[in-house]
Each structure stands twice: as structure tokens, then as C-alpha cells.
Structure 1
């Protein structure tokens, strides 16, 4: 990831793993201001800003523009640690508060050197920041109105800004040898599978040659697969999958189908208890260098979401799972439930061609993961379990 001098505001932390933090500028990510709500999403109108994209974002159907990375490279990038430090290799040097967003003097050239407060800002449909007439990213208030900035791009009234709440990506550090082993294991698991399906949240479920099944639920594996799909359009090292339903995962092109699976993968890597807002997803994408682009002092993840569609009822309307449900007598019984009803209360959402639709799908999948984890039926649970 690039070294960036952000256009605005003081420094703030994004926690990416236990005991580790990465720092990102307010302009380092991009998405329209939108919540996890019913109805259809839409972008903010341009309030006179003159921001522009720095080039065409990588679109569905396009292969990776850069050199291809293997799964070992991806695992190392997101989880490696210096043997003599408790900070991962990408965490960079510690830096102090920098009042208006320039780089601290100790800034180096790794991921941890991106600084800035995490504010909700004005964005277009692909999540690209809409800059104001002075070239600064434009924070917006709770009503979607631009917040006045000073001459250096910092909000004049900090009480108006919307701070982005960030959960932790559950990715612990590990020695390189362990990361290589885990990369090899996930490639072998998928390459030898006799069947591939998904669980209620959309995470990959593999049938092994001996007939046993395994849900890929480890956060590190999910995050590595997410990065692979969003940057390479394939799972490096896996050349074929059983059947044809998941051929798109290994075709080397970023497709809407890849994006649909990717939303569940990112959800599987996140803190299942913490809501992932569109802003949070955008900052995560920037940290992970998902097709990052820099215009002036503003760096953001630039992906073309124009062909991506998400409809909650279409995705979860027919999905069922078995969980423990409390009965009138206080006992808990394994019961089959409909996810759309039990988790979302039959409240629909539909989004077409926008980053907000993608980010909403991520948080919906996270919500489902939290639900099935909270009420999971243990393998040795009897027919009736007392509270």
C-alpha cells in the first residue's frame, strides 16, 4: 500500500488484529453515506465538489491488472509478523497526533503510515470521494450536508462529524512458516473437495473425499480468500472446483458472482458482534489495498460496482438453518428457522450497482454469522437442552 499525506484532520486508529493497529487517512477510502436499512440505496448528489476519479476502477470481468500473487503471498501480506516485534510487518512505525493530516516525521513506507480521522464523507456510487472545490475530501453531517472545513481541510465544528465505528478483523499474527502452511492447507482443501456449497451466511462449505464436511470459518482464511477474489479474480493455486456452480471462483476475472461470495468472506473475517457500516468496509478495503488509487493526496479503494446487485429477500428468502430456540417452558430445542424471517424480520433491502449495496451485503452476512453462532446447536446437544 502507498504512503499517503491525507488532506484532512488528526490521526486515528483502525484496529486490524489483536493488539495491532493500522492508520488510514480520511480520504483513504470511499463510499456513499448509507446505512443498513430497508428500501433501495442511492448516492449523495454532488454538492458542488470537483472531486474526480484518478482512473477507471477495476470492473467485473477484468482480470488482475498487476502481477499475480499466490495464496502464500496473500497470507503473508495480511498476517505476517516480525519475529522480534509484536507488530505485523505492515503496521509501520508508531506516529503521534498530526493536527491536519500530514505524515508524521517518523512515517515510513508501509501500511501503517496512512493517517487520518475516520469520518463519513461525500462519495459517489463506487465509493470514490467527491472532493470539494479546494481538493479536500468532504465530511458530511448526519443529514448528508457538507461540513465546513478550514483552510487546511479540517472540519471547523467537530461536533458535526460522523465518526466511523470500526470493529476488529479477527486476524491474529503468525510466523511466516505457519502462514505458508495455512495457505497450502486451504488450497489443498479446495483442490481435493468433492463438493462445494455454502452455509446460511454464504461462507464456503467443503465436502472432503472421506465424506465429512468443513465450513471455512477461520477469519484468516476468509480474509485471504476475500483479498484473492477482489484483487486477483481467482483463488491462486486452485485450478478446478467440483461441479460447475463455483467455476467463477477460479476463472481469473472479477465477476458479480465473485463479489457476492466476497461479501460473506469479509463477514467471516470480521468481528461478528460489531456492525460493519459502508464506511468501515471502505476503510478495510483501503487497508487491504483492494485496487487502491491515489489522486493528489487522497487514496481510496476504487472498484467498479456497477454490475453488482444485492437483494436481501432474494439472497436469504429461502435459506434455512437449525438453531436452538427457547420454548415456552424454558427449554431450548433445535429448530429449523428461515433466515430472512428470524434474522431480518422479513425487512427487505435492495441495491443495484453501488458500493453501499456491496457493504450492506457484507454486514447482512455478518449479522447471519452472529445469529447462527449465538444459537448454534452443539454437536453433542440432546434433543432437548435446558437453559
Structure 2
């Protein structure tokens, strides 16, 4: 009798996943789009945990879901590699470094000031340019190999540019999938990733039910205590935001500054510090939970806020993956996914220009440094952490 997906042995272990994501948690600067580039370099190109199409499938799925897309992709990679413990290891290792740094900042750690530190921060923005450019270059070669899919990628760029925001991103992927049903039916059938761990549908349904119960139930019981009220506010912020990253800031401001838990100056100072640390921007919640003017605050408040803001997005990933795995095997669904994957290339291409390139490349020398980082990654196969160190140091030295 063939071994079912649920019985298939795992391809890795939680320790392996933890160490891989810890390196990324310490070195992944540049925001969610850059993180997706780091992930692709580490897990598709170097470690070969999955292929290009499988990775693009995960990116497309997580772009559809509310929550922090890069953290959701990392959580899913850990889940498929080493099961639930692998998922927890991936999230913990990728999230904790930046969360701990922001909590230290909340307790009075010195903010990055002065010319050298600001130069380092600018160098890290140039790293993001190189990383995202590498991701677009590599994914375009494998996911847009023909005129039809290249055209879908260009269409996606237009949709993102004209519509803007999270709705533009979701709309681009949706239109890409519809175009794929029409234009990509004749492409070769994708092979399923037989080495990936699959969740049973029952687990997915339970996760979706828990997501809905918390979203509806927490506001009803939030008055039972300040801890529950804090958890409710951050859970709602994580559950209702599409696009992740900076998109969540207005919701966080409403839940903290708007409720008198954090002063406007403290909020802005923490947001500035969040730009200086690696990992997901959602860890800004740990700072807000720690700096709160009313209990629970400190370490307890940081832990509540951090778990609450990530939990809804992770529950949605668990809920969607069992059905996504089955869906992508159907010929019609595969045609749609080819179009959606091409749209992801366009989405990343649009993000490479704005905000990544426009916010980082301000002078011809900036362009030269970003290009050097790109060449180091693509032609010299340099590890991403070495490019982070080199461009960060170069940015600091240039202002002296």
C-alpha cells in the first residue's frame, strides 16, 4: 500500500530548521519583500528544500492571506520541512532576534544615532536592493520562461502600480491566476513536491475555526482583564491587515496611541528603531507591549503583543495549506498557478522599484554599491550575510 501524504516521513528536523532561520533572523534586513529574497536564496537555491514553483506557490498563497507575508512563508517552510515543531522553530528563530532588540530599546537601549550609524542603516537599504533584484532575476528565469507568462508579469506590474496598496497586490495575483487559466494550459504539468510534509484537512479546519473564534470572541471577553484586552487589540491588528509590514502601522497606532497606552513620541521612536533591526516589522508589537503606560507591560506585555499579532496569520496558513496542497495538483489549478506565479514575479519587480530602489538609491554611488551587491550574490554566489556586512560597513564608512 502506498504511503499517504500524512504518513510520509519528514524531510528534516526542528533543530535544522531553527539554525537555518536563526541565521536569517539575524541578517534579514530590508522588509518583507527583501525577506522573500533571502528565503529564496537560502531554501530554493542553497538548501533545495523545495523548487522554484513550489516556493512561488507559497508566496502567492501568503500574499492572499492577512498577516505578515514573509513570516507566514517562513512558518510554512518550517511546517513542510519538519512538521509543527519545525514551524514553531522557524517562527521563533526568525522572530526573536528583532523582538529582543526592540524590547531592549524599550528598556532604554541607545537608539542608533550619529553619522556612522545612519550610514550603516543606509547601507542596509542597499542590501535590500541587491537581494530583491536577485530574487526577481532568478524567479523570472524559471517562472516567466515564455511570452505568455512574461506578459502576465508585466500586467501584474501595471496592476500594482495603478491600484497600489495591498488590494493591488492581491488583485495582480488574482488576475494572473485568471490569465493563467486561459494562456498557460499547454505548459508541462508541475510535479508535486513529494518530500514536503502535508497537514491533514482536519488540522486545517481546526485552525480556521480557532482563528474565527478568537476574532469574534476576544472583543466579547476583552473586558475581563487588561491582558485579554491587549491580546485582543494586537490579534485584531494582525488578523485584519493585508500586505503586512508597514500596512499594519495605522492599526497599531489606533490600538496603542489611540487608547492612551503609548505616547505618540514613543510610538515614532520605536518605529524608527524597528527599521534598524533584521527580521519582520511585526516585531514592533513587542516594543509597544513593553513600553505600555499601563499593565501588562514590560516583558509580559511584549510577549502578549508579539504572540497576538502573529497568531492570526499563522493560523490562516495552517488552515489554508492542506487545501492548497491538493488544489495545486489539478491541471486547471496548475494552469492558474502558473499565471499567479508569473504575477508574483511582476509584484516583486514593482516592489524592487518602489519602495526598495526609490528609498535606497539616492546617488550614483548608491547605485554602484547596490549593483556590486547584486553581482556578488548572482555571479560570485556570495552568501547573503556577507553582502549585509559589506554594504552595511561601506554605508557607515562613506559618511565619515
Q: TM-score range by the shorter chain?
A: under 0.3
Greater per-residue helix proportion: 2
TM-score by length of 2: 0.25
Greater per-residue strand proportion: 1
TM-score by length of 1: 0.25
